[in-house]
Amino acid sequence: MAKMAKGVRMKSLKRLVIIFVLFSLISCVSTREYIPKHALTDPTDSISVPHPIELEKAGIKTITTFQGLLDPGLWVEVVNAGGVWPFLAQTSSGEILSGYAYLFGLTYWGDWQLQFVFLGDYKKIKTAKILYFNRDAGFCYQLHGDQIKYDPKKFENNIEYQKSLFEKYGKNLKEMDEFWKEHLVQKGLEPPSDFTGVVQIKIPSPKWNEYKEKLSVIMQYNYKMGDEEIRCGYLPLDLFKQAAVEIPGFNGVDRYLKRAKVPLFALPFSGVGLLTSVGASLASDAIIAGVDPSWTGAYARAKVLRYKMAPLFRHITLIYKELLQKRDERLAQQLEIIKNLKFKLIFQD
C-alpha cells in the first residue's frame, strides 16, 4: 500500500510539473504574441512620420522635441538606415501621453541618437516620466538606451505595474538634460549651465521652419497616401510602396513586415573582422538576415525572432566606440606632442 501511495504521489507530482511547464510555455507564448495598443501595427508608421504640412493642417500649435539614445540592439528593426519607434509618458496625474522617435544620426562618439517628437506643449510633458518601445512594443527602453525588464500584457492591463515601471525607469526631460550634460563632460566638453536638449516649437515660427528643413534632410522622401495624407520617410518611393502595403498578420505564422533587410551595409563598423570579433554563430545570423528572405520583418518579434541578433549589434557598437575612444586618445597624444614641439621652438628662438 505504501509503495502504491508513493507511486500515486509521484504520478501526481509529475502531472503537476507537466502542467506547470505547459502553463509556463503558454504564458511565454502569449506574452510574445501579445500586441499592446501602443505598438506600431501599421508598417507605414514604422518607416515614416506625418509630413509637417499635416501638423499644420491639423491645427497643432506647438510641438516639443528632445533627444535620447537608441539601444544598438534595435538595429534589428532599422530599415534602410532609418526607423521610427513609439514612446509613452506618464504625468504626475497618471495621464498617458504618446509620441514617436526617429533615428536622428550618429554622434562623434558612436552613439545612435533618437529625435523624440511630442505633438503638444512642453508644459504638458515637462515632468512626465518617459519610456520608449520597439516597434511591436514587445520590449521597453529608458531614454538613454538601456533595455528594461517589461511584460507588455501586464503593462497594458495592470495600472500598478505600469505606474511602477514609469516611476522606476522613466526619465523626465530635466533628468535627460542632466544626463546629456554629464555625458558631454565625460567626453571632455564643457556644456553651459543652462544647457538643454529640449526644444518647444511654435507653429508657425522661425524654429518651425528650421525643424522642417532639418527633417527634410533626414527624411528626404515624401509620399501621398491613399487617404490623401502626406508622409515623409527614409525610403525611395518604390521601396516605400513595397514596405507600406505589407500589413502585419499578427497570427504567429506570418507576423511582420516582409522584404525589410537588416542594413549591414549602412553600418560604419562592418568589415572583414566581423566574424572573428563577434563569433561565427552570431555573425552568420546577421549575414543570413541580410540576404535570406525567410528572415523577414522590421519588428523585433518577427517569425524568426530577430531580437536574437541584438547582442551582435550591441557588441559591434561597443567595438566601434572603443575604436573611437582610441582615436581620441591618439589625437590627445598628437596634440601633446605638438604643444611640446611649440614649447621647444619658443626656447630655441
DSSP for 52-67? HHHHHHTT--EEEEEE
CA distances from 322 to 63, 217, 264, 269, 333 (A): 36, 29, 19, 11, 17
Q: Are residues 20 and 126 in the same domain?
A: no
In this structure, what DSSP letter does residue 304 have? S
Q: Are residues 163 and 65 in the same domain?
A: yes
Q: In 3-state terms, what secondary structure has residue 231?
A: strand
Task: Tell me what pLDDT residue 318 has.
Answer: 74
Comparing CA positions, the residue from 136, 147, 140, 145 lying closest to residue 77 is 136
The residue count for the chain? 349
CB-CB contact of 235 with 82 (8 Å): yes
CA-to-CA distance for 161 and 127, rounded, in angstroms? 20
Q: Are residues 23 and 67 in the same domain?
A: no
85 occurs within a structural domain: yes
Q: Are residues 143 and 56 in the same domain?
A: yes
3 occurs within a structural domain: yes
Task: Tell me what pLDDT residue 312 has.
Answer: 64
Q: In 3-state terms, what secondary structure has residue 68?
A: strand
CA-to-CA distance for 205 and 195, rounded, in angstroms? 22
Among 167, 194, 224, which residue terminates a domain?
224
Q: Are residues 171 and 220 in the same domain?
A: yes
336 occurs within a structural domain: no
Indicate the number of domains in the chain. Answer: 2
C-alpha cell at 191: 556644456
Pick left, alpha or beta for residue 80 (phi over 0 → left; psi -120 to 50 → alpha; otherwise beta).
Answer: left
CA-to-CA distance for 133 and 307, rounded, in angstroms? 13
CA-to-CA distance for 55 and 230, rounded, in angstroms? 10
Comparing CA positions, the residue from 36, 30, 41 lying closest to residue 299 is 41
Task: Tell me what pLDDT residue 348 has.
Answer: 55
CA-to-CA distance for 247 and 256, rounded, in angstroms? 7
Among 224, 259, 275, which residue terminates a domain?
224
143 occurs within a structural domain: yes
Task: Tell me what pLDDT residue 300 has.
Answer: 55
Task: Tell me what pLDDT residue 302 has.
Answer: 54
User: Over its length of 349 residues, how does the chain's per-residue pLDDT go in tens digits?
Assistant: 444 444 544 444 344 333 333 333 333 333 456 889 999 988 889 889 999 999 999 999 999 999 999 998 888 788 777 899 999 999 999 999 999 999 988 888 888 899 999 999 999 999 999 999 999 899 999 999 999 999 999 999 999 999 999 999 999 999 999 999 998 898 888 888 888 999 999 999 999 999 999 999 999 999 988 888 999 998 888 888 777 655 443 333 333 333 333 333 333 333 333 333 333 333 334 333 333 333 344 555 554 455 566 666 676 777 767 777 777 787 778 777 777 765 455 555 5
C-alpha cell at 249: 498578420
CA distances from 269 to 141, 264, 279, 310, 320 (A): 24, 9, 15, 16, 6
Q: Which domain holds residue 29?
A: 1-33
Q: Are residues 74 and 135 in the same domain?
A: yes
276 occurs within a structural domain: no
CA-to-CA distance for 68 and 115, rounded, in angstroms? 7
10 occurs within a structural domain: yes
CA-to-CA distance for 324 and 314, rounded, in angstroms? 15
Q: Are residues 10 and 110 in the same domain?
A: no
Q: Are residues 50 and 197 in the same domain?
A: yes
Q: Are residues 168 and 73 in the same domain?
A: yes
* 267 CA to centre of own chain: 16
Q: Are residues 49 and 195 in the same domain?
A: yes
In this structure, what DSSP letter does residue 111 have? P
Among 173, 201, 224, which residue terminates a domain?
224
153 occurs within a structural domain: yes
CA-to-CA distance for 242 and 158, rounded, in angstroms? 37
Cis preceding linkage at 204, omega within 30: yes
Task: Tell me what pLDDT residue 172 has.
Answer: 98
Q: Are residues 106 and 203 in the same domain?
A: yes
Q: Are residues 68 and 202 in the same domain?
A: yes
CB-CB contact of 122 with 200 (8 Å): yes
Q: How many CB atoms lie within 10 A of CB 195?
A: 12
164 occurs within a structural domain: yes
